[in-house]
Chains A and B, each alone.
Chain A
Amino acid sequence: MKYELVSGLETHVELATATKIFCSCTTAFGGAPNTHCCPVCTGQPGALPVLNKRVVEFAIRAGLALHCKINTVTHLDRKNYCYPDLPKAYQISQFDKPLCEHGYVELESGKKIGITRIHIEEDAGKLVHDRGFTFVDYNRGGVPLIEIVSEPDISSPEEAREYVEKLQLIMRYLAVSDCKMQEGSMRCDVNISLRPEGADYLGARTEIKNMNSMSFIEKAMEYEYSRQAEILSSGGKVEQATMRYDEHTGETYVMRTKEDAQDYRYFPEPDLPTIIIPEEEVQKAQASLPELPLEKLKRYRDMLQLSDHTARQLYKYKAVCDFFESCINSGASARNSANLITGAIYSRFATEEQKEKFSLPFDAAQFAELVKLLDSGKINPTLAQMTLSKMLTNGGKVSDYISTEDVKGVDEGELEKLCREAIAANPQAVADFKAGKEKAISALYGYIKRATQGKADIRAADAIIKRLL
């Protein structure tokens, strides 16, 4: 029998607020163990949580961008469980009234993955096992999280990847999180069940916890699919369980089954009053949402006439988009800007992370100056590339590398003289051109470029040559 995959994801996203969710400790990643801590986030007796308003704002933005309904009257709950990384023995989270509900993420195919809910909660600390001891670091304890729960609408590992990538990009566009999976600021629990193709019921599911890379998500799903398919096709039953994925073996292992499922004894957090969000605040947040990734991609393709490939190269990185747009807003052409960014500039960045950061030794205005020279034909692509390369290495302004002499290029009379020389020096190419071989003319361009060290405007030269011939 053929089985279809049914999957839903629970995605934890660390919010990029400066301070923690219930105290004023920094959320900065790293730091010597237990230095980003206070009585509140280490659960000292008598300490009380104070809700960071920015966390609610960030979560509302995330919710609106995922087309959710915002619950304007909501509260926090205690989720009780005992583990050394959880200093209060309860996590302050949301249970029956999440901040956001009923949204979706649209995939490129047009398919919508439903979002059941988004709630706010605090992160736990970290256990470090070393030399037979277990150490606890509470720096991460109290860092704000949103948990984004999807509907079981995902039907393949590829869809899961695209869903996570889309979420990641949306969160980055909103600047609510950096979503660095490798640093744990975005992590996923993957729920998987199988059912006979076309069936309308859901099979027993397993949940793979704490996935911190896209490719592991795909691999784990593939593995879990075949594991469950094997059980089902041999007449067995999939046992509901919480699983762990081993990156080294590529296999999943059972951590606990339904029998030892935890009872979290949720109840409303008595230390925090009901959260009441004025309707205007939601409207303001809605109005202030930035252009979202898919809209941007469409605009780059349709309005700015960039190729699909180039548009994608740009829209994947929020910082690049900002740079690019600031550049075209100062009058530079989209096409030349985009080509230089995805060409010369990207060639300097080896990693995705560098592109995300997009830190350059010059600003968008300087880059726009260069592009505009190219746009107007005052410099040719070769000189533009050369100049950009120098700017990338040494920083500085366009005028540091291109003189007024360069910009003036080669005057009309001089250019015509060179064109005549080029024609005289390349009789074969001229003959070929006249015979209908359009491309043969490039030999003449080459002559002119060499003679002027790239300064001549080739488009102007082209017009002259064609007139002369």
Chain B
Amino acid sequence: MTATLKQLSRLLRDKEISSVQLTRKYIEVIENRDPQINSYVTRCFDEALLAAERADKMIARGEAAPLTGIPFALKDNICTDGIETTCCSKILSGFKPYYDATAYKKLKDICAPLLGKTNMDEFAMGSTSETSCFGAPKNPRDLNRVTGGSSGGSAAAVAAGLAPFALGSDTGGSVRQPAAFCGVVGFKPTYGAVSRYGLIAYGSSLDQIGAIALSVEDAAIVFNAVKGEDERDMTSRKCPDIGELTGDIKGMKVGVVSEFFEGLSPEIKGAVERALKGLESCGATICEYSAPSLKSALPVYYIIACAEASSNLGRYDGIRYGFRAQNYSSVDDMIIKTRTQGFGKEVQKRIMLGTYVLSGGYLDAYYKKACLLRESIKEDFNELFERCDILVAPTAPNTAFPLGYTQNNAVEMYLSDMCTVPVNIAGLPAVSLPCGSDKSGLPIGVQIIGSPFNDSTTLNAAHALELCGVSKCKPEKGGVEL
């Protein structure tokens, strides 16, 4: 069976296994299994083994942190000093940062071995990971299905047992939705709780690094290890430690917002309702609400995310790093050719959309209006959290799409973010965890949403669902077994 992070940590401390042995096991299964799944785009096994050696020494000295010696995977948009970081885009091919993202640095410092960088939608733009220049990762639960996205590689690696945990990033659901599709736990913390320094920006006011793991407790352990105010990120804030999760939610008020449930398939609706019953059985009370502003969340998200992206991605001009087109006649020509050849279609589409909504004459009608609506969504959430402690919603209105399906159904793909994007717009913490499966056996995710910096309450409610048996996740066979 696959052990949880807590158990792995104990095994390492008790020297029942060394970090080098553990890391080797993961390397072996990645080599065997990942060619089918395509969750890793860069592997750094040599570095991982060196880190594992250091971890074993650290453990021997009695200086181990909870994640010391436990290998992990990192989404390819999180910068790693000396290790290729490409956002799965041709335009960043060959790019090796000379600095570490803060969240990664925190894991590096406690000698958690990095196995490799995981597959994702190009620049995190997508909900299936199919826009990756390395080809789509496949869902370990059904290899004909997508992993979800954009942190599809991270979710797939954890679901396939190719990493005990992974970091992803979540701009509009990119940690939670692939976690739901792959049947694992995905936690997007409060905006600002984890430093964004070194996370290659997509939508800066929405992006947040999150954890993907096999249990809520594991996600909490990872979060504790990477969170914290960072002097390199002025939008980062202190966030209290997540203590021991008890799952005690007696008297907790759980809100259900009708807008999250519109047009759901009976299967998904049923699964989420079972989760609500589970929470009730743990002593929580369920209250129903309506928040009409949520209906504008999707357009607000696409306008703000694309506007910020169009600016954030302006720097990829072929001058300083990454890909540069050949055969150009001038600097302008070089920049145009580099961007035309270096960015994929979805990225180009979003850059153009973002450029448009910020242009003179359109700014007020789109970007500024979206900002106003964003405020009203935030206000609605504030009001909701005056009346209840957490909200429960489906993570996605559908289960994993067949590979290739969204190519001709782009709107359906955009719509699949409708339950996750409001959380980013308001900067809230939310966790997705499995709550059953559909008739084809594909996992369904339920989402617990909390108020800002109440990450602890959010995770505790999710843990209650695990304790009462509603939520379980197990990696696929073929992964690491201990």
Which positions in A face B, CB cutoff 8 Å? Answer: 39, 42-51, 78, 80, 82, 84, 87-90, 134, 136, 263, 265-267, 270-273
Most buried by A among B99, B310, B311, B320: B311
| Bound form: Cα–Cα A215–B78 in Å | 52
Cross-chain contact A84 with B201 (CB below 8 angstroms): no
* Given A39-B99, A80-B311, A273-B235, also A45-B335 (CB < 8 A): no
Query: Using Cβ atoms and an 8 Å threshold, which residues of chain B touch A87?
Result: 315, 319-320
A-B residue pair count with CB separations less than 8 angstroms: 102
Query: Using Cβ atoms and an 8 Å threshold, which residues of chain B touch A50?
Result: 231-234
Query: Using Cβ atoms and an 8 Å threshold, which residues of chain A touch B311?
Result: 78, 80, 89-90, 265, 267
Interface size class of B (residues with CB under 8 A): 35 or more
* Given A45-B95, A50-B234, A87-B315, also A270-B205 (CB < 8 A): yes
* Given A80-B358, A263-B359, also A46-B315 (CB < 8 A): no
Cross-chain contact B307 with A45 (CB below 8 angstroms): no
Q: Which residue of A lies closest to B198 (CB)?
A: A46
Query: Using Cβ atoms and an 8 Å threshold, which residues of chain B touch A271?
Result: 201, 204, 233-235
* Given A265-B311, A270-B308, also A39-B98 (CB < 8 A): yes
Q: Is the interface of B mostly helix, strand, loop or mixed?
A: loop
Nearest CB of A to B311, in Å: 5
Cross-chain contact B317 with A47 (CB below 8 angstroms): no
Query: Using Cβ atoms and an 8 Å threshold, which residues of chain A touch B367?
Result: 267
Determine which of B92, B204, B360 lies in contact with A263 in the assembled complex, contact meaning CB atoms within 8 Å.
B360
Q: Which residue of B lies closest to A89 (CB)?
A: B314
Q: Which residue of B lies closest to A269 (CB)?
A: B204
Query: Using Cβ atoms and an 8 Å threshold, which residues of chain A touch B176?
Result: none
Contacts A43-B315, A44-B99, A46-B201 known; list 19 others, CB within 8 Å: A44-B97, A44-B321, A45-B321, A46-B77, A46-B79, A46-B199, A48-B234, A50-B232, A82-B335, A84-B331, A88-B315, A89-B314, A89-B315, A89-B317, A263-B359, A265-B311, A265-B358, A267-B308, A270-B235
Determine which of A42, A46, A51, A136 lies in contact with B197 in the assembled complex, contact meaning CB atoms within 8 Å.
A46
Cross-chain contact B85 with A45 (CB below 8 angstroms): yes
Cross-chain contact B319 with A84 (CB below 8 angstroms): yes
Query: Using Cβ atoms and an 8 Å threshold, which residues of chain A touch B355?
Result: 265
Determine which of B99, B200, B234 lies in contact with A273 in the assembled complex, contact meaning CB atoms within 8 Å.
B234
Q: Is the interface of A mostly helix, strand, loop or mixed?
A: loop
Q: Which residue of A lies closest to B95 (CB)?
A: A45
| Bound form: Cα–Cα A47–B234 in Å | 12
| Bound form: Cα–Cα A273–B360 in Å | 24
Nearest CB of B to A184, in Å: 22
Which positions in B face A, CB cutoff 8 Å? Answer: 77-79, 85, 87, 92, 95, 97-99, 101, 196-201, 203-205, 231-235, 307-308, 310-311, 314-315, 317, 319-321, 331, 335, 355, 358-360, 363, 367
Nearest CB of B to A380, in Å: 63
Cross-chain contact A48 with B79 (CB below 8 angstroms): no
Cross-chain contact A48 with B315 (CB below 8 angstroms): no
Nearest CB of A to B322, in Å: 8
Nearest CB of B to A240, in Å: 16
Q: Which residue of B lies closest to A42 (CB)?
A: B320
| Bound form: Cα–Cα A270–B320 in Å | 24
Nearest CB of A to B245, in Å: 31
| Bound form: Cα–Cα A43–B317 in Å | 11
Cross-chain contact A46 with B200 (CB below 8 angstroms): yes
Question: 11 A-B pairs, CB-CB below 8 angstroms?
Answer: A45-B85, A45-B315, A46-B101, A48-B233, A48-B234, A49-B234, A80-B358, A82-B314, A82-B317, A88-B314, A89-B317
Nearest CB of A to B43, in Å: 21
Query: Using Cβ atoms and an 8 Å threshold, which residues of chain A touch B99?
Result: 39, 44, 46-47
Query: Using Cβ atoms and an 8 Å threshold, which residues of chain B touch A44?
Result: 97-99, 320-321
Q: Which residue of B lies closest to A85 (CB)?
A: B319
Nearest CB of B to A272, in Å: 6
Cross-chain contact A265 with B359 (CB below 8 angstroms): yes
Query: Using Cβ atoms and an 8 Å threshold, which residues of chain A touch B335?
Result: 82
